[in-house]
């Protein structure tokens, strides 16, 4: 299988505290990967490193065979990376339609038929009008979460980094988000998810990376990860 993302010995310290320590992380094209671990394990820092939001102390990031460690986030977007954040980044003073238009402005060329079909599926799933002049600041929390996913797909992204995409969602909304992730995979995208919600993870995960104290502690499929005694001790708490 084709590697879509590969990191080599990523390390980053903040004030002497090691947030990432020699992280080697590989994701294959069209995979759904979940990254889990206790608070402070390095999950969000890994995402920031992949998206170019922090300067690494050492190590390299390779996306689609291209070494991008010194690329700015905007250059990574042009390469097909898209990231959602724990703090939603939609423009609250703009309408839904205007947010989508801004995201589309980052896209290189026209969307493929496959990408257009995916967007159509997600809009129907979310019961969402992207042409709405409704102010984003008045959207419910779950619609804001979904708007951000739609926005990064409109940038042309085919590698999605989703940071806590179900935070604050109901069980029904979480299930709809899981359906959206699976639709993205069906249409050829690669999805990497940082998540705490184990029920959500069970719905989507093909492979799980467990982080602990800034490093990769364990990797495996869903069942082997949940059955691993050490993973249970550090993450699952039993």
Confidence band for 106, pLDDT divided at 50, 70 and 90: low
Confidence band for 107, pLDDT divided at 50, 70 and 90: low
> Higher model confidence: residue 25 or residue 118?
25
- CATH of residue 113: 3.40.50.300
Instruction: Please name every residue paired with 161 in a beta bridge, in sequence order, or none if there are none.
Output: 83, 192
The mean per-residue pLDDT over the stretch 119-131 comes to: 80
**Beta carbons of 150 and 123 less than 8 angstroms apart:** yes
> Could you list the residue range(s) of the whole structural domain that residue 224 is in?
3-236
How many domains is the chain built from?
1
Q: How do residues 47-98 score in pLDDT, each as one tens digit? A: 999 999 999 999 999 999 999 999 999 999 999 999 998 777 777 878 888 8
The mean per-residue pLDDT over the stretch 212-235 comes to: 91
**Beta carbons of 24 and 3 less than 8 angstroms apart:** no
pLDDT value of residue 238:
44
% residues pLDDT > 70 (the chain) = 95
């Amino acid at each position: 299988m084709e590697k879509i993302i590969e990191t080599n010995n990523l390390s980053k310290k903040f004030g002497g505290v090691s947030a990432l320590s020699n992280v080697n992380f590989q994701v294959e094209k069209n995979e759904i990967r979940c990254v889990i671990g206790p608070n402070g394990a390095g999950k969000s820092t890994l995402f920031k490193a992949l998206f170019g939001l922090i300067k690494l102390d050492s190590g390299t990031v390779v996306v689609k065979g291209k070494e991008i460690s010194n690329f700015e986030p905007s250059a990574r977007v042009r390469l097909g990376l898209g990231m959602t954040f724990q703090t939603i980044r939609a423009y609250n003073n703009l309408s839904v339609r205007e947010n989508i238009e801004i995201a589309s402005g980052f896209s290189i060329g026209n969307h493929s038929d496959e990408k257009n079909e995916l967007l159509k599926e997600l809009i129907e799933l979310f019961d969402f009008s992207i042409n709405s002049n409704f102010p984003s600041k008045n959207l419910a929390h779950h619609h804001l979460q979904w708007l951000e996913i739609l926005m990064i797909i409109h940038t042309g992204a085919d590698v999605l980094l989703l940071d806590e995409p179900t935070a604050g969602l109901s069980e029904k909304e979480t299930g709809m988000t899981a359906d959206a992730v699976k639709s993205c995979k069906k249409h050829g995208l690669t999805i990497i998810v940082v998540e705490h919600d184990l029920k959500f993870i069970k719905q989507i995960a093909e492979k799980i990376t467990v982080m602990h104290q800034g490093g990769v502690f364990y990797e495996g499929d869903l069942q082997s990860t949940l059955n691993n005694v050490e993973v249970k001790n550090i993450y699952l708490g039993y």
